[in-house]
Structure formats: structure tokens, C-alpha cells
């Protein structure tokens, strides 16, 4: 390992941003799909599974990029060298550095509590943490919505396919969100639901990294744009389900939430059969025998995390059954706050 250059006397900036679990309306948040489904929205809530970005000024011009969770790092003699590079070991931090163009040397360290390929928006949350930290470091006064636009656009540059907007809002705001996808823009609304209710009624389990990373959203996106009537009708119904679930959550009708979650999962499996796996199907059946009411894969599926809605008081019982049958249960707590920034001497 190369020796780390001396740290300057400047301050260290640290930002944290939470991951999310999606409830309804996902994939519709990809522009321009939602424009074809008036009233489209997505529902999600922030998870207290955190990502972080720490920036420490360094003497000279050298830039050091380090990922603590993946144990990767790379070095650049200057920002000019980083700007000229075309390939990176750590593209998330490197692409954001290219955008923010720092004028001094720095060490940027990222970390994530999310398992690999979990489908709980670990990369998007980390984009928000890093965007927030770099904005502060480069003295850019950005609104939360400006940070969302930058993070979403840079992530699209990294993954080379369209990115949806919903993943950034839990990281920015925390809590439970209804994200309205309208012709005049994207509008986030806080959903009136007790977070303790969510924590007592849901179980989150990791089933392993997807074997076909990134398959589903892109394939469904192309089918929609190419005029697949089956996919279009399914998304019309998914938009209706999201609106209905918003109302059900607001009035605390958990039976209706469960019914809508089951219907949405059925439609998503019809859109993209690769969204489920043998293990996911097994865990859904096991959960149902112990108090599970509904379930859906998080994100694009194909592995990753599954969110289970359970009967009141059944969370522990369902979690044990899932763990006994090959799932890895993750702690589920709603993150009340979105991105947090601090400055250390």
C-alpha cells in the first residue's frame, strides 16, 4: 500500500445517508415512463442501514479514494490526472470528484452497511452522502433537490442505463415518502404513518447478490418504450396500486396494504420473471406459514432483499423461519432523518 500523504490542517467533513425499502410504484420512476401513466407515484421508507462519506484535506494536490466496505482504493497525483482518467476502480467517488472539481488534495473514504446487490438502494444512498460531502468541501450551496439531480445523473453515467428518482428521496429526507411523478416535476410528500407500525409489521431479509445484475428494470424499460401492451397495462395497474397503497397507509389499513403488496408483486413477476428466484419463492411460502401476509423483492429483484409484511406480533416468528430456511434477516428500523452532515476538526 502506498503511504498516505500528510493530512492538512483543514477540517474533515462526514456525511451519512440511509438506504430504503420500496413499497409500490417502482420502475415507474424512470423518466419518461411515468409521463405515460398520469398520477404515477412511488412509495418507500428509509432504512437505518447507513452509507457514509468522509473527506479529509491532504497537503499538496494528491487525491486518494478509498472504499472501506469493498476494501478497494486508488490514487491520483492531481485532480487533472483524475479528470483525464476514463476507468476507475471506484467509479462512484471518482465520477463525483470529476463533477465537483476540488481545488486541493483530499482523501475521500466511502462505506456502506448494505450487503452487495441488496436492492435497498445502497449505491444511490452513497451517492447522496458523497454529493453532500463534496458540495460542502467545495463550498457549493446546493438544495436537496439539486443534490438529487446531480446524484441521479452521475449515477446514470456510471451504470450506463437510465436511473429512477425514487432511491434518492429516502436518503435525502428519511421517513416514509410518497414521490409524485408529474409532468411539472417530481414532488416528495411525507406519508402520515407511525414509523413504529412499520417496524413492527415488516421483516427484511437478504437472499444473496443477484446473479444477473441490472437485468430487470432495463429490460422492462425497453419493453415499455417499445410498446409492449402487456407491460403498459401492468404499469397502469401498478400506478393505481401505488395510489391506493398511499391512502391505505395514511388511514392505517394494513389488510389493504397487504392485499395491494401481493397484487403488485404478482404484476412485477409477470413483467419480468427474472425478478424472483427459487429461494425468494421458498421464503415467501415459509413466511406465509408463520404469519406472513405479503412480500416483494426490493429494487429490481433477481436476488437481493425481500420485504415481508407480517401479522401484528408475528415479526419475530417470521424472522426465525426465514433465517432457518436460508435467508439472512437484516435489522429493520425506519431512519427518521435523511442525509446528515458534520464537520470534524
pLDDT, average across residues 121-130: 96
State the burial class of residue 248 (Cβ atoms within 10 Å of its Cβ: 0-12, 13-18, 19+): buried
Taking Cα atoms as reference points, which of 337, 342, 263, 340 lies closest to residue 45?
337
pLDDT > 90: percent of the chain: 80
List where CATH 3.30.70.890 sits in the chain.
195-330
Q: Is the pLDDT of residue 244 over 60?
A: yes
What is the mean pLDDT of the segment spanning 214-233?
83
Report phi then psi at 41, rounded to 5: -155, 160
Residues above pLDDT 70, as percent of the chain: 95
CATH class of 195-330: alpha beta
Q: Which residues touch 220 (CB under 8 Å, ≥6 apart)? A: 27, 231, 271, 272
Global pTM reads 0.92
Please state which of the four CATH numbers 3.30.230.10, 3.40.50.920, 3.40.430.10, 3.10.129.10 is assigned to the domain occupying 12-190+336-344: 3.30.230.10
CA–CA distance, 188 with 167 (Å, rounded to integer):
12
Domain boundaries for CATH 3.30.230.10 within the chain: 12-190+336-344
The DSSP bridge partners found for residue 204 are: 307, 330
Arithmetic mean of pLDDT, 216-236: 87
Lowest mean pLDDT among 13-17, 212-216, 263-267, 268-272: 212-216
Tell me how far the alpha carbon of residue 110 is from its chain's centroid: 16
Amino acid at each position: 500500500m502506498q503511504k498516505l500523504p500528510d493530512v492538512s490542517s483543514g477540517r474533515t467533513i462526514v456525511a451519512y445517508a440511509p438506504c430504503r425499502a420500496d413499497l409500490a410504484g417502482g420502475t415507474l420512476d424512470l423518466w419518461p415512463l411515468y409521463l405515460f401513466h398520469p398520477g404515477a407515484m412511488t412509495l418507500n421508507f428509509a432504512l437505518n442501514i447507513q452509507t457514509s462519506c468522509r473527506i479529509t484535506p491532504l497537503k499538496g494536490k494528491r487525491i486518494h479514494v478509498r472504499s472501506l466496505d469493498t476494501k478497494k482504493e486508488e490514487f491520483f497525483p492531481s485532480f487533472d490526472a483524475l479528470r483525464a482518467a476514463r476507468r476507475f476502480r471506484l467509479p462512484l467517488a471518482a465520477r463525483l470528484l470529476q463533477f465537483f472539481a476540488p481545488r486541493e488534495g483530499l482523501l475521500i473514504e466511502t462505506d456502506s452497511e448494505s450487503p452487495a446487490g441488496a436492492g435497498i438502494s445502497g449505491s444511490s444512498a452513497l451517492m447522496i452522502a458523497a454529493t453532500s460531502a463534496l458540495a460542502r468541501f467545495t463550498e457549493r450551496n446546493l438544495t436537496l433537490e439539486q443534490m438529487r439531480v446531480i446524484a441521479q445523473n452521475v449515477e446514470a453515467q456510471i451504470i450506463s442505463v437510465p436511473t429512477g428518482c425514487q432511491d434518492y428521496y429516502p436518503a435525502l429526507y428519511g421517513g416514509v415518502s410518497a414521490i409524485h411523478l408529474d409532468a411539472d416535476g417530481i414532488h416528495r410528500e411525507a406519508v402520515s404513518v407511525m414509523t413504529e407500525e412499520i417496524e413492527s409489521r415488516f421483516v427484511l431479509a437478504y437472499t444473496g447478490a443477484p446473479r444477473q445484475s441490472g437485468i430487470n428494470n432495463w429490460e422492462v424499460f425497453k419493453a415499455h418504450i417499445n410498446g409492449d401492451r402487456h407491460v403498459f397495462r401492468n404499469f397502469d395497474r401498478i400506478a393505481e396500486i401505488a395510489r391506493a397503497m398511499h391512502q391505505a397507509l395514511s388511514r392505517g389499513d394494513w389488510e389493504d396494504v397487504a392485499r395491494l403488496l401481493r397484487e403488485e408483486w404478482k404484476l412485477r413477476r409477470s413483467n419480468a420473471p427474472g425478478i424472483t428466484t427459487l429461494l425468494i419463492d421458498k421464503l415467501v411460502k415459509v413466511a406465509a406459514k408463520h404469519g406472513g401476509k405479503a412480500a416483494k423483492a426490493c429494487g429490481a429483484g433477481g436476488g437481493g432483499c425481500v420485504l415481508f409484511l407480517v401479522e401484528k406480533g408475528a415479526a419475530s416468528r417470521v424472522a426465525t423461519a426465514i433465517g432457518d430456511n436460508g435467508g439472512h434477516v437484516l435489522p429493520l428500523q425506519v431512519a427518521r432523518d435523511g442525509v446528515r452532515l458534520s464537520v470534524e476538526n
